[in-house]
């Protein structure tokens, strides 16, 4: 397909924002090591510290709490490798969180979600009571990990309420705000969690950069040891250009927070309306919950997601089959399973996710391409 492409897969990775590109290009010419005392080193240091301020603003946290990492996966692994005796994770966490929790060796408890994908606050409270009561664990030995918004469905968790429950037991809270960043105010600005993890490439920064925002005093074990970079919290010479790009993307996300969510929600709602015109029996998963402004997960029973995504791609539209963070996998989504979504619907779930460069034209092209998906379904039925 040689015509214009429509990219609607921002939850997998967003195109680089022009501001991030410009910041990276000028940082690439800085050749100093940020730990060196000479002028070249100091310029690299200033670039990193300026980006740290931007990340602090995005997360509603002081800049000193920001630790730059290679991505959200590393940031989550750092928190989850801590000396916890029990880790509670919601059933809809990203694999980066669930896999790291399982590797810790601590007792891992999966907290269920309801049919909308919302964490059951009472189940969380009961588990915390059990751990501190019968098992006699101290609050500070327990980590609770709950994402702010889901990458597949866009469903937003009631983080303030969860933070109350966790704080009530003196346990620690980690919030994966990767998908929330730039779309809603980050949990850190409501009731600050102990840890927030962020990813650069989801907000229009470069791949390979992320941040862990660790509240002063929250326990922290370095994952990488060596030099004293990041105040001893993450060793290794800093990737100045990537950090500069991440900082610029964060600044743009903060700047646009007052207007961009409304614009995206309008486009997303229009997309859902137009898709439903093409196929009225389409299901929108998680629609009754509060969702991110940019995400829709839709399913046409009888049109398997992998086939649908290929048909869309051939028509010039990039979308993804359910959880496309690790694209290519065709296994049933654990997120949709946890929500109790029927298999017939779950295996047909296609995610469209919009972002800073999305326009109404993209919506129209996606809706037009969706007709192909409906036709595939028709022919699949005739064959069957």
Catalytic residues: 325
**Closest approach of ligand PLP to the CB of residue 272, in Å:** 21
**Cα–Cα distance between 321 and 347 in angstroms, integer?**
8
Per CB under 6 A, 260 contacts ligand PLP: no
Nearer to ligand PLP, 65 or 176 (CB): 176
Q: What DSSP assignment string belongs to 69-80? A: ES-HHHHHHHHH
**3-state SS, residue 45:** helix
Site for ligand PLP in 294-333 (CB under 6 A): 325
x/- mask, ligand PLP, residues 96-125, rule CB under 6 A, reads x-----------------------------
**Cα–Cα distance between 273 and 266 in angstroms, integer?**
11
Considering just the CA atoms, what is the radius of gyration of the chain in Å?
21
Nearer to ligand PLP, 249 or 376 (CB): 249
Residues 8-33: b if buried by 16+ CB within 10 A, e if exposed: bbbbbbbbbbebbbebbeebeebebb
Stretch that binds ligand PLP, among 66-74, 133-141, 266-274, 346-354 (CB under 6 A): 66-74
Pairing of strands 142-147, 172-176: parallel
Nearer to ligand PLP, 104 or 179 (CB): 179
Compute the 3-state secondary structure of the chain and give helix, strand, coil in percent, each to the nearest 5: 45, 15, 40
**Closest approach of ligand PLP to the CB of residue 355, in Å:** 13
Site for ligand PLP in 176-195 (CB under 6 A): 176, 178-179
Nearest to 49 by CA among 37, 34, 61, 39: 34
Stretch that binds ligand PLP, among 68-76, 82-90, 337-345, 365-373 (CB under 6 A): 68-76
Question: DSSP character for 5?
Answer: -
78, 127, 147, 296: which one binds ligand PLP (CB under 6 A): 147
**Cα–Cα distance between 384 and 85 in angstroms, integer?**
52
Contact 110, 231 (CB under 8 A): no
**Closest approach of ligand PLP to the CB of residue 102, in Å:** 16
**Cα–Cα distance between 348 and 305 in angstroms, integer?**
4
6, 47, 73, 104: which one binds ligand PLP (CB under 6 A): 73
Helices (H), 105-180: 121-132, 159-168
Nearer to ligand PLP, 96 or 214 (CB): 96
Write out the E strands in 98-209: 107-111, 142-147, 172-176, 195-199
56, 210, 245, 322: which one binds ligand PLP (CB under 6 A): 210
**Closest approach of ligand PLP to the CB of residue 138, in Å:** 28
Stretch that binds ligand PLP, among 71-79, 124-132, 244-252, 312-320 (CB under 6 A): 71-79
**Closest approach of ligand PLP to the CB of residue 87, in Å:** 16
Stretch that binds ligand PLP, among 70-78, 282-290, 336-344, 349-357 (CB under 6 A): 70-78
**Cα–Cα distance between 278 and 374 in angstroms, integer?**
7
199, 296, 333, 358: which one binds ligand PLP (CB under 6 A): 199
**3-state SS, residue 326:** coil
Number of residues located near ligand PLP, criterion CB under 6 A: 13
Q: Which residues bind ligand PLP (CB under 6 A)?
A: 71-73, 94, 96, 147, 151, 176, 178-179, 199, 210, 325
């Amino acid at each position: 397909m040689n015509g214009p492409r429509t990219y609607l897969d921002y939850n997998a990775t967003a195109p680089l924002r022009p501001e991030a590109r410009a910041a990276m290009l000028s940082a690439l010419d800085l050749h100093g090591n940020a730990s060196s005392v000479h002028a070249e080193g100091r310029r690299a240091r200033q670039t990193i510290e300026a980006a740290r301020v931007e990340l602090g603003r995005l997360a509603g946290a002081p800049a000193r709490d920001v630790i730059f990492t290679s991505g959200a996966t590393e940031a989550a692994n750092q928190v989850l490798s801590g000396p916890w005796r029990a880790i509670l994770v919601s059933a809809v966490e990203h694999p980066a969180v669930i896999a790291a929790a399982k590797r810790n060796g601590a007792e891992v408890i999966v907290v269920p979600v309801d049919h909308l994908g919302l964490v059951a606050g009472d189940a969380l409270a009961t588990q915390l009571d059990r751990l501190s009561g019968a098992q006699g664990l101290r609050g500070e030995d327990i980590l609770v990990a709950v994402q702010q918004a889901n990458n597949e469905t866009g469903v937003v968790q009631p983080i303030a309420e969860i933070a109350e429950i966790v704080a009530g037991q003196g346990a620690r809270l980690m919030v994966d705000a990767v998908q929330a960043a730039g779309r809603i105010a980050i949990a850190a600005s409501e009731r600050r969690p102990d840890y927030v993890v962020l990813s650069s490439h989801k907000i229009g920064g470069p791949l390979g950069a992320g941040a862990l925002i660790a509240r002063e005093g929250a326990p922290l074990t370095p994952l990488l040891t060596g030099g004293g970079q990041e105040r001893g919290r993450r060793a290794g010479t800093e990737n100045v250009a990537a950090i500069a790009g991440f900082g610029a993307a964060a600044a743009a996300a903060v700047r646009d927070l007052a207007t961009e969510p409304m614009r995206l929600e309008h486009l997303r709602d229009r997309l859902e309306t137009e898709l439903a015109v093409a196929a009225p029996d389409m299901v929108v998963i998680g629609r009754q919950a509060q969702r991110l402004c940019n995400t829709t997960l839709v399913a046409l029973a009888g049109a398997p997601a992998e086939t649908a995504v290929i048909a869309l791609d051939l028509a010039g539209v990039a979308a993804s089959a359910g959880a496309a963070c690790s694209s290519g996998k065709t296994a049933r989504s654990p997120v949709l399973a946890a929500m109790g979504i029927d298999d017939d619907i779950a295996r047909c779930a296609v995610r469209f996710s919009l972002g800073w460069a999305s326009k109404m034209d993209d919506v129209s092209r996606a809706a037009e391409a969706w007709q192909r998906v409906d036709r595939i379904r028709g022919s699949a039925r005739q064959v069957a």
